[in-house]
Amino acid sequence: MKKNCILAILALTTSAVFAQRPGRSSEDNPKLAELLKLRPQLDLNRDGILTVEEALKARDRRTKQPRTNRVAPTYSDVAYGSHSSMKLDFWKAESAEPAALFVWIHGGGFRGGDKAPANAQLLEPFLKAGVSVASINYRLSGIGPYPMQMHDSARAIQFLRSKAAEWNIDPARIAVGGGSAGSGISQWLAFHDDLADPKSNDPVERLSTRVSCALALSMQSTLDPRVIKKIIPGNAFDDSALKPFYGLPADWNWETAEIDAKLDALIKDASPINHLTPDDPPVFIFHSERTRTDGNIHHPNFGTYLETAMKKQGIECMCKTDADYNSPAASYDDMVRFTLRHLVAAPLENKQ
């Protein structure tokens, strides 16, 4: 009964929205926003945004045979921590030698989203290239504020390294990537000091959290509303996802409320760009041109802001939008090539 109801909503929503104006998304359409909450798996590229095109594809697939190229995880819902949200799926690549690993981190404003399905546009190409893939869940902001989401993801990286022998993973070749909130976590992991604790009684915590490179889709390079206000036109700085992320009430006003030293330090620490140093790994940035609008929390200016900072540090940064490609598939092909190029590089030294 519930499934039929959701399918009916899907049919009505996509028909109504498409009739109004193609290209709309959950960012500016309440019906698509509600549909994203009901069926997060419709977000095909896992960037935390449901476009009408993605919804239409899902509606069309209901009348077709199930996909035969969807690869089931080798291991599903593996616990990497003590909380029920700390689960991951793992796809083991066919490889005689220890395989490199790509870890996908879902989006959803830190308050929604799910590890399944992983980004199919990346999953299958990586597996074909002999790279294993993991997709992780983490505790959302409804459970607790920053740094919980980043620390959970760091723990997942350490856990996956602990499985190196059992799962045939090369612990020196791990890349991360994600959409929206997941891109923020990916950048944070790429730039942050190593969280390994050599003195820990937990052998997993002794392992490195460092990565070889990162993909950042529909990304935000800073999560500091004061900086966002300067680099993004409109009111993106007041995006509703930021308040629960910092444990603030819904009526918090960034323009009038006093930010004390503790909150100031928290905000600065949460922003990936603030951890950037010359020894950090390369990043591939991707945005859609449709987000180049006032008040959009996925505005391409976030990408150029990070690109400028990385170039000053002498770090490779590819900053792209969909305007640079003739098809969505071409952009994902570029991301895969970028990742493979850096996964064969010499292992990174731990950043301390």
Q: How far is CA 14 from CA 28, 44, 113, in A?
A: 14, 15, 20
Query: Quick one: 153 and 191 in the same domain?
Result: yes
Place of tokens 């395989």: 99
Query: Quick one: 236 and 206 in the same domain?
Result: yes
Residue 66 in any domain: the answer is no
Query: Quick one: 51 and 110 in the same domain?
Result: no
User: Percent of the chain at pLDDT above 70?
Assistant: 84
Q: Provide CB contacts within 8 A for 82, sequence distance 6+.
A: none
Determine what percent of the chain falls in helix, strand and coil, rounding each to the nearest 5.
40, 15, 45
Strands (E), the chain: 75-79, 87-91, 99-105, 132-136, 169-179, 213-217, 283-287, 317-321
Residue 68 in any domain: the answer is no
Q: How many domains does the chain have?
A: 2
Query: Quick one: 36 and 162 in the same domain?
Result: no
- pLDDT tens track for 308-345: 999 999 999 999 999 999 999 999 999 999 999 999 86
Q: What is the pLDDT of residue 31?
A: 79
Q: Provide CB contacts within 8 A for 216, sequence distance 6+.
A: 177, 178, 183, 186, 187, 283, 284, 285, 286, 303, 306
Strands (E), 239-295: 283-287
Residue 302 in any domain: the answer is yes
Query: Quick one: 43 and 160 in the same domain?
Result: no
Q: What is the pLDDT of residue 44?
A: 66
Rounded Cα distance, 129 and 207, in Å: 26
Query: Quick one: 127 and 259 in the same domain?
Result: yes
DSSP labels, 105-123: E--STTTS--SSS--HHHH
The answer to whether 309 touches 276, Cβ cutoff 8 Å, is: yes
The answer to whether 302 touches 222, Cβ cutoff 8 Å, is: yes
Residue 67 in any domain: the answer is no
Q: Provide the pairing of β-strand 213-217 with 283-287.
A: parallel
How many C-beta neighbours within 10 Å does residue 276 have? Answer: 21
Query: Quick one: 36 and 134 in the same domain?
Result: no
Q: What is the pLDDT of residue 36?
A: 75
Rounded Cα distance, 217 and 321, in Å: 10
- pLDDT tens track for 85-97: 999 999 999 999 9
Query: Quick one: 169 and 304 in the same domain?
Result: yes
C-alpha angle 16/20/25, rounded to 5°?
80
Query: Quick one: 94 and 131 in the same domain?
Result: yes
CATH code (residue 189): 3.40.50.1820
| Domain around 109 | 75-343
Q: What is the pLDDT of residue 32?
A: 82
Query: Quick one: 180 and 251 in the same domain?
Result: yes
pTM score of the predicted model: 0.84
Rounded Cα distance, 278 and 289, in Å: 29
Rounded Cα distance, 255 and 328, in Å: 38
Residue 161 in any domain: the answer is yes
Query: What residues pair up with 317 in beta bridges, in sequence order?
Result: 283
Q: What is the pLDDT of residue 42?
A: 80
Domain boundary pick from 10, 33, 61: 61
Residue 131 in any domain: the answer is yes
Query: Quick one: 114 and 238 in the same domain?
Result: yes
Residue 70 in any domain: the answer is no
Place of tokens 């896992």: 46
Residue 69 in any domain: the answer is no
pLDDT per residue rounded down to tens, the chain (352 residues) = 444 455 445 545 544 444 444 446 776 787 787 787 666 658 766 567 887 767 766 655 544 433 434 789 999 999 999 999 999 999 999 999 999 999 999 999 999 999 987 888 999 999 999 999 999 999 999 999 999 999 999 999 999 999 999 999 999 999 999 999 999 999 999 999 999 999 999 999 999 999 999 999 999 999 999 999 999 999 999 999 999 999 999 999 999 999 999 999 999 999 999 999 999 999 999 999 999 999 999 999 999 999 999 999 999 999 999 999 999 999 999 999 999 999 986 565 556 5
CA dihedral 130, 132, 133, 139 (to 10 degrees): -160
Query: Quick one: 46 and 112 in the same domain?
Result: no
